[in-house]
């Protein structure tokens, strides 16, 4: 019998990569669930091809799923992976540069035949290259496809279907390698294929075969073990950013006692919010409207808002651009509205399947005239939940459109989430009027300058509003210069006033007395946090600040930032938050920009910060 | 929420807001406003349940003058705004007021989609065949060769045929009327209001500043009777100075006939609101100057039932929300 | 600028670009591409005078695969971009490639305006009744009740009838064909290309990933012959397994008849491309499942002459510009 | 015989105000032409009612025309007027607060009867107020309408038509008051009414009657005389901002040897550009396209640009918002395009007939993704000509969309313009390719990083471009992260490079060594210039800098600004340029914002600047 060493690990990064049809997303998700149930912290990120179905076996057709898990806090799916699963040559080719030195590669030999090598763009002699490139790694070449088919020889399935089960072999093997139970996946298989017994059987057979292979083969001499992560007690689930936004919106509606109206036009990477909500319309107070375009979406949301719904739009880049005129109207009418911009790489159509955070300035300044709109950003998949809830709160409490910025990386990434119960969520107050008012004035304001919200059906508050400048109070159209000046100031002041209701800015890592603050917003949180954590271990004088409230800023932000000697602002854009900080506080903040459609690389970021240490 | 509503008898005055009317004196818009205000007391809907939504244009000032709920939105988007309101609040009585530029130029897409979706709203298209508010450029209903500020050598484009377009978009109610025919106007509006589904009503409206007399042929004493064809369901198509002309269908071809001379009353085309092919033929009159212009309810075919429940009124237990939050797979950390 | 152009004989290969095709293997788009590439060598236009313009969608990838000039623009706007190009460059041969979402959802307005303006371009609408590129939401041509990612409980909207819509917008050429009928496809494209004016061609295209089999009834051996009606100018409307069925006009009502049994060939409706009322009746078949779906050139009526002069080629003396600058009233300071 | 004193004046501001139907614009324009021919410098600004035809006699229906002329440089139509012509009570009411102390009011008594007073919103006892309010002024109450009708008693015109000629009476009277020849107006009348002899006769009779009235009445004891202004020698004409843009575009097309394609959707205050160009399509290489909306306008312009035209759009606020997605496409395709945004008061529909400069940030940042577009601003009506020409030059030379900012105040205002001849205008070079190129690459760049422009019809350069990210050079779609980063940087760098071709920033008034620089952009030029000019006379240490090139800035701007102790940035918005200056140069620039739909008031501005002197 072979001897197997059990190696302890702090954290592991696995990249599952194969052809779009190879089921890598499924394997990744299954391994992730298992990992979460095991009590590790984790973060995942899928990596879809740009095409719906790119030609089989090509680099364009590679679908990937990266999982980072460990026994301590995990903030990102990780830069380079420890383990690469490469189901074919193309998967190998497009991921080999992202494997750590001395990392492990598990390759399905069947995917490296001549045809596949050619499809991947290797020419004959480069076949050697694959092997030589791999000398820095522990390279396991296993004929997974063959083993899969063999393990199913007794089943009456055609070869293609047998072939398709190979992802389960990989999963089984990994379960062995990381000493896992198969139960969660077997359960999944039983549910998923409960209408097709033979396929159900095939999948669990292959899963076990993979596990068994690990146990019996002489190839593997190590197994890996990780401790549970220390996590706050509570109930957990895995969640992606888009699902978290959808949930946050439904719950915000519930806590405000308003129906949710979600108006949208499909666009990558925001569409999944629509898909998720669409499934909930029968059970919850949710109405979805797939409009004819983004203009109709935002305008219908304005109509719904006038009628007393929590009205929300979801979109991305080009769609956001189309909503700007409508948003100006919502500003002028002072109606509540939430716009979720799940950012992707621009300009124009750009790279729809790549991440970026380059719509911040557009969110702040994209409208004609002085049209201030609060902007908040989510910084992790699970944070999308509270961010969406908070965006709705601000919109409803302050009668204003609010822009919520997420991005593709948050949208598709996932992580464990300690979820709250319904009762733990705060109620959201609205300014709804439910009785008749003598001489009703639609622009009558409360002490926070917020106007009241009288909706059709309420007798005695009939009124007309519109996009022309209006007299404060009465709302009657006014071309008076002084009134206009006052209204411009007032609209801005009302939004600035939101700062009174948001938390003060905290330092997420490091001390107020540090020399350097690395200041980010949105999805860079994980990368910056990891980099700063490592630098702190190296005793560098750095701190990490992640800003969620981008407009208005928390009240203490200026004094907080001015305490540091150096401010570095890393962004996945060409420098946007840095502009705002420089302008507002006249701080010589230093931009760090990587615009590669990818999360920031931690190692590179660390290097950059070290320059100032 | 549902209470038995006692509707106090309202008068047209109740629908007048306190805002001074800012249309040019004599503008057709004012005549239409009057008829809407005259109609509303009789439709059985309390004032607070009525909403007027407009885009931008002279005509789109309309909501300001109505003492109901109202929104003066942005150019071309009244239909889209109304869509969101009506979807979430089917209990409301929603009127869209729009112009030929607002509805058919910048707002064309939302209009055809609203008609396709057959939302139960009333669309009043004030067609003056010109851009009024921006001071006189041609619009998508301006006539070919029309001289305007932006077509000093004559408009080169053909106009839309709004009836054909709305039919093509799948409208379930199509009417045409004109500012100067107060009674007819009110009756067409009433039919539209009663129709369950999207009611598209084209209203010829004179802009006497930038396109005066565009519809004179339909209002002028000497030309009116031979240019206008008032259609009524189940009645034959008759027009002409002394009602001496009729329209007959020769196969699928309409033919103008002298009644008694060429044809008896019984042979005439009997208007059938529900017949889409006939509606198409009527729509095509637009392209041929030999035919009179049909006014009235040209097409009407209810596809749906009135919905009145407000969405989002399910009462949901917090445990159901907790299930949602927890998802299918979850675990506890102790 | 006018030179006598010698067109070297081109082959379909000459129209293939060096870009790898990225549609899903088996996508109907590829079949259409092939036919376009087959057609172009024979239309007598040099390659450099041809421009393909698309919006965004799977179908809109089209221009990348054509070795001509091309633009892959933004969602819904191919028609608008093409308008600017064709207005300024009437000498060019302009093709628009668009999807059901691109043309009829976000781009609906530009489409109907282009048809109204009757610009001399060819519009190929790849209708797969779904949003392909964004992975499977319903589109404005999706069937009512269709289950898609965004309509898990069934699409509640009625679909557009693209033929009726284009007729309503004033299109001068309307055709329908399908990816699987290579020859028919090519012939309809050719007719569209030859037509002077806007040629609107709806092409049923199978998206076998997100809406497989949407048109199976029109391609499947057993159902095809009784579901498809191929129309040809001046020919009677005949269909059915053994061409045993025909369509007759009873007044303005179409009636399906058994040839010889109920009706002779001579009594059948003879297709007349120029007859708009007939085109409307054909368009209405869409709404009634009893009727076969008409394919071919459904309507065609040239309203204009070919323009080929490029605008902005007046040669203007600098003195004429000086007059313009100086205006009517001016004075000198010495 | 009465004795008349001739008083010398440096400058005079006259406001003509009456009901929309009273012909005040015509009188204003006639007096302006006469003034210009007389050799004075001048500036004018009309003031239309928001409604097409507001009810007769109401304040809403007042139409005004302000003329400022003088013997030295005139930079603005002026704050308060010396002379108010008030044809009715409403005109009086809406303008009385803008008359200088001891100013002159000439009122038509017929317009102050009970009915008119009531229509103007005065109640019975306030009638007295009108008179008492007027005690600070020299108040001439003349029954102009009656005198007009009397002077026409022999003509067979109906009373309404006679009535209508009263504006000519005013004009005649003013001609007398300022010692003018009637010739230019008589000539105008003859041309204008050459098809209606009786009206022609009526108008010139009344004109002369007005003049004669001045001469004979005992009312006026003063006449006013002004010296000619010292102006550079050359040929002059009067021009409004919108007309100047139209001309600039036609000439830019001519100098680039390209047809001009102007695609637009009507919108106040940009529509007059369309109206002007529409009239020129038969004589010049101009094609106009009134699109179905602003999206179609910008997209059709992109199509025309691809086809080799000088493609231009004109619009304002809400229309600008709609163009943002299209502009992103133009950025990605690197196609030349000019967008003229004639700004008006926002947000949303705002106040369409009032001026504002609040779309600067939108111009800079309004698009999704990193989509840099050069921005330039015109600063006076006549400067619109060169600004439009320059916008076209930059667009064509650098293959980029360019945003030209004007505003309602420039658009409708007018001033004398020393116009160039065709030959004085520089040629504009383009990157047009006119021959076949082997292995043609659409994104092949010259040393300025500008790609070539191969248009359909050119054999051997067939290519495809689009809004997806592309490989530099080949233009093939690329999702490569490094390429994307490089392209984002490259697009920005190319635009920054434009700074090499624009003039260095000059100081328009005052010295580099002054303490305070008042820095403006766009239409505030006149007000700032006047204020600084006056402060310089008061020996204050101030200078005036007006920035035309807003992105990229002139290369010397930073060093220039850093030389001043204090930088004040007055804007008709809530602080936009000031944000950019603060951010870019970390200068603590001070905003001064008046958002009243009006040009900046010089007196108020001076007061503000004095705070820092
Ligand atoms: C986005 C946008 N574009 C343009 C305008 C300018 N605009 C206002 S109303 C109008 C057209 C009005 O014509 P129509 O809809 O026929 O209304 P009418 O004034 O004739 O009643 C235009 C172009 C605007 N307000 N917003
Ligand atoms: C402004 C904007 N909104 C949304 C999208 C996302 N989007 C891209 S293609 C598409 C629809 C594609 O459907 P269709 O036009 O039918 O083309 P198909 O993919 O089916 O060929 C959508 C919604 C976009 N690119 N831009
Ligand atoms: S411009 Fe025409 S449409 Fe507008 S208010 Fe005046 S008359 Fe009516
Ligand atoms: S998703 Fe559908 S339409 Fe798109 S390429 Fe694949 S098969 Fe074709
Ligand atoms: Mg109109
Ligand atoms: Mg489609």
Of D545, D546, D552, nearest in space to D499 by CA:
D552
Residue D483 counted as domain residue? no
Q: Is the CB of B160 under 6 A from ligand 3?
A: no
How remote is the C-alpha of C309 from its chain's centroid? 25
What confidence score (pLDDT) does residue C50 get?
98
Q: Do C327 and D459 touch (CB under 8 A)?
A: no
ipTM: 0.96
Q: What is the 3-state secondary structure (H, E, C) of D187-241?
A: HHHHHHCCCCHHHHHHHHHHHHHHHHHHHHCCCCCEEEEECCCCCCCEEEEEEEH
Query: C267: which residues sit within 8 A by CB, 6+ positions away?
Result: C248, C257
Per-residue pLDDT, averaged over A190-194, amounts to 90
Atom of ligand 4 nearest to the CA of C22: 5
Q: Do B251 and C253 touch (CB under 8 A)?
A: no
User: Which two three-digit tokens encode residue D237?
Assistant: 């004409």
How many other CB atoms sit within 10 Å of the CB of residue A284?
21
Residue D183 counted as domain residue? yes
Per-residue pLDDT, averaged over C318-328, amounts to 95
Per-residue pLDDT, averaged over C154-179, amounts to 97
D379 and D322 in one domain? yes
Q: How does DSSP assign C144-189, residue by residue?
A: TT--BTTBTT---SPPP-HHHHHHHTT-SEEEEEETT-HHHHHHHH
Residue D485 counted as domain residue? no
Those of residues 271-300 in A touching chain B at CB distance below 8 A are 280, 283-287, 289, 291-293, 295-296, 299-300
Query: A339: which residues sit within 8 A by CB, 6+ positions away?
Result: A298, A312, A313, A314, A315, A320, A323, A327, A401, A402, A403, A404
D310 and D411 in one domain? yes
CB-based contact B37:B47 (threshold 8 Å): no
User: How do beta strands D260-264 and D310-315 pair?
Assistant: parallel
Whether the per-residue pLDDT at C121 is higher than 90: the answer is: yes
**Dist. CA A485 → ligand 1 center (Å):** 25
C68 contacts chain D (CB < 8 A): yes
User: Which two three-digit tokens encode residue B9?
Assistant: 């008898």
Residue range B262-271, pLDDT digits in tens: 788 889 999 9
Residues in chain D: 613
Gap between the Cα atoms of B229 and B296, Å rounded: 8
B55 contacts chain D (CB < 8 A): no
Residue A374 counted as domain residue? yes
Those of residues 29-48 in A touching chain B at CB distance below 8 A are 33, 36-37, 39
Domain at D318, CATH number: 3.40.50.970
Of B296, B327, B299, B183, nearest in space to B232 by CA:
B296
A55 and A9 in one domain? yes
B149 contacts chain D (CB < 8 A): yes
Which of D467, D583, D596 shows the shortest C-beta gap to A579?
Answer: D583
**Dist. CA D53 → ligand 3 center (Å):** 8
D209 and D249 in one domain? no
- Which residue reads 């590790």 in tokens? A40
What confidence score (pLDDT) does residue B5 get?
57
Instruction: Give the confidence band of B48 by pLDDT, cuts at 50, 70, 90.
Output: very high
Pick from A165, A195, A224: which residue ends a domain?
A224
What confidence score (pLDDT) does residue D219 get?
87
Residue range B162-189, pLDDT digits in tens: 999 999 999 999 999 999 999 999 999 9
Which of D52, D60, D282 shows the shortest C-beta gap to B153?
Answer: D282
Those of residues 79-108 in B touching chain A at CB distance below 8 A are 80-89, 91-92
Query: C80: which residues sit within 8 A by CB, 6+ positions away?
Result: C107, C110, C114, D291, D295, D296, D299, D300, D303
Q: How does DSSP assign D432-495, residue by residue?
A: EE-S--TT--TB-B-TTSPBPEE-TT-TT---EEESB-B-TBT--B---HHHHHHHHHHHHHHH
Instruction: Give the confidence band of B1 by pLDDT, cuts at 50, 70, 90.
Output: very low
What confidence score (pLDDT) does residue A419 get?
97
CB-based contact A496:A373 (threshold 8 Å): no
Pick from A177, A199, A224: which residue ends a domain?
A224
Per-residue pLDDT, averaged over A395-424, amounts to 97
Instruction: Give the confidence band of B309 by pLDDT, cuts at 50, 70, 90.
Output: low
What confidence score (pLDDT) does residue A218 get?
85
Q: Do D271 and B153 touch (CB under 8 A)?
A: no
- Residues in chain A within 8 Å Cβ distance of B85: 300, 303-304, 306-307, 456
Which of B74, B80, B312 shows the shortest C-beta gap to A300?
Answer: B80
Of A283, A282, A279, A284, nearest in space to A251 by CA:
A284
Query: What is the three-class DSSP state of A132?
Result: helix
What confidence score (pLDDT) does residue D347 get?
98
Whether the per-residue pLDDT at A199 is higher than 80: the answer is: yes
Q: How does DSSP assign A430-459, residue by residue?
A: --EE-S--TT--TB-B-TTSPBPEE-TT-T
Per-residue pLDDT, averaged over D466-490, amounts to 97
Which of B161, B165, B249 shows the shortest C-beta gap to C251?
Answer: B249
CB-based contact C130:C142 (threshold 8 Å): yes
On the 0-12 / 13-18 / 19+ scale of CB atoms within 10 A, A544 is: buried
**Inter-chain CB pairs, B–D, below 8 Å:** 70
B47 contacts chain A (CB < 8 A): yes
Residue range D289-340, pLDDT digits in tens: 999 999 999 999 999 999 999 999 999 999 999 999 999 999 999 999 999 9
CB-based contact A467:A333 (threshold 8 Å): yes
Q: Nearest ligand to the C-alpha of residue C60?
A: 2
What confidence score (pLDDT) does residue D157 get?
87
Residue range A15-57, pLDDT digits in tens: 999 998 899 999 999 999 999 988 999 999 998 887 778 888 9
Residue A551 counted as domain residue? yes
β-partners of residue D375 are D403, D551
Gap between the Cα atoms of A349 and A372, Å rounded: 26
What confidence score (pLDDT) does residue C2 get?
46
Per-residue pLDDT, averaged over C66-88, amounts to 98
C121 contacts chain D (CB < 8 A): no
Average pLDDT, chain C: 94
Residue in chain D nearest A320 by alpha carbon: D368
Structural domain harbouring D215: 5-224
Q: Do D574 and A482 touch (CB under 8 A)?
A: no
What confidence score (pLDDT) does residue D136 get?
80
Phi-psi region of C154 (alpha: psi -120 to 50; beta: other; left: phi over 0): left
What confidence score (pLDDT) does residue B2 get?
46
Residue D168 counted as domain residue? yes
Gap between the Cα atoms of C4 and A66, Å rounded: 61
Query: What is the three-class DSSP state of A471?
Result: coil
Q: How does DSSP assign A477-513, residue by residue?
A: B---HHHHHHHHHHHHHHHHGGGGGSPPP--SBS-TT
CATH architecture of structural domain B12-214: 3-Layer(aba) Sandwich (3.40)
A55 and A186 in one domain? yes
Per-residue pLDDT, averaged over A72-78, amounts to 93
User: Using CA positions, which residue lies closest to atom 8 of ligand 3?
Assistant: B27
Residue range B65-120, pLDDT digits in tens: 999 999 999 999 999 999 999 999 999 999 999 999 999 999 999 999 999 999 99
Instruction: Give the confidence band of C4 by pLDDT, cuts at 50, 70, 90.
Output: low
User: Which two three-digit tokens encode residue D189?
Assistant: 């009348």
Whether the per-residue pLDDT at A561 is higher than 50: the answer is: yes
- Residues in chain B within 8 Å Cβ distance of D58: 20
- Which residue reads 């197994």 in tokens? A223
Residue range D537-564, pLDDT digits in tens: 999 999 999 999 999 999 999 999 999 9
Of C327, C317, C320, C318, nearest in space to D235 by CA:
C327
Q: Is the CB of C106 under 6 A from ligand 4?
A: no
Of A487, B22, C218, nearest in space to D52 by CA:
B22
CB-based contact A258:A430 (threshold 8 Å): yes
Q: Is the CB of B100 under 6 A from ligand 1?
A: yes
Gap between the Cα atoms of D51 and B22, Å rounded: 7
**Inter-chain CB pairs, A–B, below 8 Å:** 210
- Percent of chain D predicted with pLDDT > 90: 86
Average pLDDT, chain D: 94
Instruction: Give the confidence band of C1 by pLDDT, cuts at 50, 70, 90.
Output: very low
Residue range C300-314, pLDDT digits in tens: 998 877 765 556 678
Query: A301: which residues sit within 8 A by CB, 6+ positions away?
Result: A261, A263, A311, A312, A313, A337, B84
User: Using CA positions, which residue lies closest to atom 2 of ligand 3?
Assistant: B207
Whether the per-residue pLDDT at D81 is higher than 70: the answer is: yes
How many other CB atoms sit within 10 Å of the CB of residue B234?
8
Of D336, D290, D291, D345, nearest in space to D316 by CA:
D345
- Residues in chain C within 8 Å Cβ distance of D301: 84
User: How do beta strands C245-250 and C253-258 pair?
Assistant: antiparallel
Query: B233: which residues sit within 8 A by CB, 6+ positions away?
Result: B271, B272, B273, B297, B300
Per-residue pLDDT, averaged over D49-57, amounts to 82
A162 and A37 in one domain? yes
**Cis ω on the peptide bond leading into residue D347 (within 30° of 0)?**
yes
Gap between the Cα atoms of A255 and A250, Å rounded: 9
Residue D391 counted as domain residue? yes
Q: Do B276 and C284 touch (CB under 8 A)?
A: yes
What confidence score (pLDDT) does residue D129 get?
59
Whether the per-residue pLDDT at D6 is higher than 50: the answer is: yes
- Percent of chain A predicted with pLDDT > 90: 86
Atom of ligand 3 nearest to the CA of B205: 3
What confidence score (pLDDT) does residue C309 get?
57
D318 and D193 in one domain? no
Q: Do C165 and B168 touch (CB under 8 A)?
A: yes
To the nearest whole Å, the CA of B69 is away from the closest chain D CA by 20
Whether the per-residue pLDDT at B4 is higher than 60: the answer is: no
Gap between the Cα atoms of D370 and D376, Å rounded: 19
Residue range C13-46, pLDDT digits in tens: 999 999 989 899 899 999 999 999 999 999 999 9
What confidence score (pLDDT) does residue C9 get?
83
pTM for this model (two decimals):
0.96
CB-based contact B327:A239 (threshold 8 Å): yes
Mutate to test the pocket of ligand 3, among B25, B27, B101, B126 (most ligand atoms within 8 A of CB): B27
User: Using CA positions, which residue lies closest to atom 1 of ligand 1?
Assistant: D319
What confidence score (pLDDT) does residue B293 get?
98
Domain count, chain D: 3
Instruction: Give the confidence band of A123 by pLDDT, cuts at 50, 70, 90.
Output: confident
Whether the per-residue pLDDT at D209 is higher than 50: the answer is: yes
A320 and A290 in one domain? yes
D140 and D59 in one domain? yes
Q: Do D573 and A489 touch (CB under 8 A)?
A: no
**Dist. CA B160 → ligand 5 center (Å):** 13
A100 and A70 in one domain? yes
A36 and A101 in one domain? yes
A375 and A262 in one domain? yes
Per-residue pLDDT, averaged over D377-381, amounts to 97
- Helix (H) and strand (E) counts in chain C: 10, 12
- Helix (H) and strand (E) counts in chain D: 22, 24
Residue A288 counted as domain residue? yes
Pick from D362, D389, D424: which residue ends a domain?
D424
What confidence score (pLDDT) does residue C64 get?
97
Q: Do D33 and C318 touch (CB under 8 A)?
A: no
Domain at D544, CATH number: 3.40.50.920
């Amino acid at each position: 019998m072979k001897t197997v060493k059990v190696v302890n690990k702090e954290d592991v990064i696995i990249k599952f990569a194969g052809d779009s049809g190879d089921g890598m997303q499924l394997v990744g998700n299954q391994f992730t669930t298992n990992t979460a149930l095991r009590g590790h912290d984790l973060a995942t990120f899928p990596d879809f091809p740009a095409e719906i179905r790119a030609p089989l076996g090509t680099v364009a057709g590679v679908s990937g799923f990266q999982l980072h898990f460990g026994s301590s806090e995990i903030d990102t799916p990780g830069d380079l992976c420890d383990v690469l699963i490469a189901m074919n040559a193309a998967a190998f080719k497009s991921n080999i540069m992202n494997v750590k030195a001395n990392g492990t590669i598990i390759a399905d030999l069947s995917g490296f035949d001549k045809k596949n090598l050619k499809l991947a763009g290797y020419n004959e002699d480069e076949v050697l290259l694959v092997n030589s490139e791999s000398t820095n790694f522990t390279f396991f070449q296993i004929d997974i496809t063959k083993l899969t088919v063999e393990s199913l020889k007794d089943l009456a399935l055609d070869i293609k279907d047998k072939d398709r089960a190979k992802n389960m072999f990989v999963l089984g093997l990994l379960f062995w390698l990381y000493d896992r139970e198969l139960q969660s996946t077997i359960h999944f298989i039983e549910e998923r294929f409960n209408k097709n017994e033979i396929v159900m059987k095939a999948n669990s057979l292959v899963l076990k075969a993979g596990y068994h292979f690990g146990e019996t083969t002489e190839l593997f001499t190590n197994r890996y073990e990780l401790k549970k992560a220390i996590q706050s007690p509570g109930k957990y689930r895995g969640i992606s950013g888009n699902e978290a936004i959808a949930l946050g919106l439904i719950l915000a509606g519930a806590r405000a006692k308003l129906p949710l109206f979600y108006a949208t036009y499909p666009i990558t990477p925001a569409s999944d919010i629509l898909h998720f909500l669409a499934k909930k319309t029968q059970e919850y107070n949710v109405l979805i409207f797939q409009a004819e375009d983004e203009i109709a979406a935002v305008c219908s949301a304005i109509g719904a808002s006038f009628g007393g719904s929590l009205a929300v739009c979801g979109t991305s880049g080009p769609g956001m651009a189309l909503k700007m005129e409508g948003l100006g109207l919502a500003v002028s009418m002072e109606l509540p509205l939430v716009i979720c911009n799940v950012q992707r790489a621009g300009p124009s159509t750009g790279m729809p399947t790549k991440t970026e955070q380059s719509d911040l300035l557009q969110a702040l300044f994209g409208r004609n005239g002085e049209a201030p709109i609060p902007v908040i950003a989510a910084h992790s998949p699970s944070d999308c939940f509270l961010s969406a809830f908070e965006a709705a709160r601000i919109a409803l409490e302050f009668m204003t459109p609010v822009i919520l910025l997420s991005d593709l990386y948050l949208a598709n990434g996932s992580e464990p989430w300690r979820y709250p119960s319904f009762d733990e969520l705060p109620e959201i107050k609205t300014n709804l009027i439910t009785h008749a008012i003598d001489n009703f004035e639609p622009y009558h304001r409360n002490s926070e300058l917020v106007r009241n919200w009288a909706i059709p059906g309420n007798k005695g508050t009939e009124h007309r509003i519109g996009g022309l400048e209006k007299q404060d109070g009465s709302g009657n159209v006014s071309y008076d210069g002084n009134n206009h000046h006052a209204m411009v100031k007032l609209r801005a002041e009302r939004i600035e006033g939101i700062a009174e209701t948001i938390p003060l800015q905290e330092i997420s890592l490091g001390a107020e007395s540090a020399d350097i603050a690395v200041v980010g917003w949105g999805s860079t949180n994980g990368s910056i946090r990891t980099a700063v954590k490592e630098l702190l271990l190296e005793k560098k004088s750095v701190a990490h600040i992640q800003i969620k409230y981008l407009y208005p800023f928390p009240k203490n932000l200026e004094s907080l930032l001015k305490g540091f000697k150096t401010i570095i602002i890393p962004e996945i854009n060409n420098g946007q938050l840095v502009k705002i900080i420089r302008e507002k506080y006249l701080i010589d903040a230093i931009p760090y920009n990587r615009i590669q459609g990818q999360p920031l690389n931690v190692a590179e970021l660390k290097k950059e910060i070290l320059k100032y240490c | 929420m549902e209470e038995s509503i006692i509707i106090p008898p309202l008068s047209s005055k109740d629908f007048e807001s306190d805002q001074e009317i800012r249309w040019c004196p004599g503008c057709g818009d004012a005549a239409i406003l009057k008829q809407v205000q005259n109609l509303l007391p009789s439709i059985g809907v309390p004032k607070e349940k009525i909403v007027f939504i407009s885009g931008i244009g002279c005509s789109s000032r309309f909501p300001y003058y109505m003492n109901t709920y109202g929104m003066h939105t942005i150019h071309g988007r009244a239909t889209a705004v109304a869509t969101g309101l009506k979807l979430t609040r089917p209990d409301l009585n929603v009127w869209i007021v729009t112009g030929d530029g607002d509805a058919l130029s910048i707002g064309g897409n939302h209009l055809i989609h609203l008609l396709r979706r057959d939302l139960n709203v009333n669309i009043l298209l004030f067609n003056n065949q010109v851009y009024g508010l921006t001071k006189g450029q041609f619009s998508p209903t301006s006539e070919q060769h029309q001289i305007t500020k932006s077509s000093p050598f004559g408009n080169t484009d053909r106009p839309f045929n709004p009836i054909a377009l709305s039919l093509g978009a799948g409208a379930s109610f199509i009417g045409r009327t004109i500012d100067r025919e107060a009674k007819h106007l009110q009756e067409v509006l009433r039919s539209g209001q009663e129709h369950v589904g999207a009611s598209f009503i084209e209203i010829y409206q004179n802009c006497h500043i930038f396109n005066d007399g565009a519809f004179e042929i339909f209002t002028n004493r000497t030309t009116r009777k031979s240019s206008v064809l008032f259609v009524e369901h189940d009645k034959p198509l008759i027009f002409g100075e002394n009602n001496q002309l009729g329209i007959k269908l020769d196969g699928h071809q309409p033919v103008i006939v002298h009644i008694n001379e060429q044809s008896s009353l019984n042979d005439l085309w009997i208007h059938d609101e529900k017949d889409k092919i006939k509606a198409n033929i009527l729509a095509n009159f637009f392209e041929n100057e030999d035919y009179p212009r049909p006014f009235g309810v040209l097409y009407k075919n209810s596809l749906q039932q009135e919905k009145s429940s407000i969405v989002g009124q399910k009462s949901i237990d917090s445990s159901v929300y907790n299930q949602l939050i927890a998802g299918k797979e979850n675990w506890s950390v102790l």
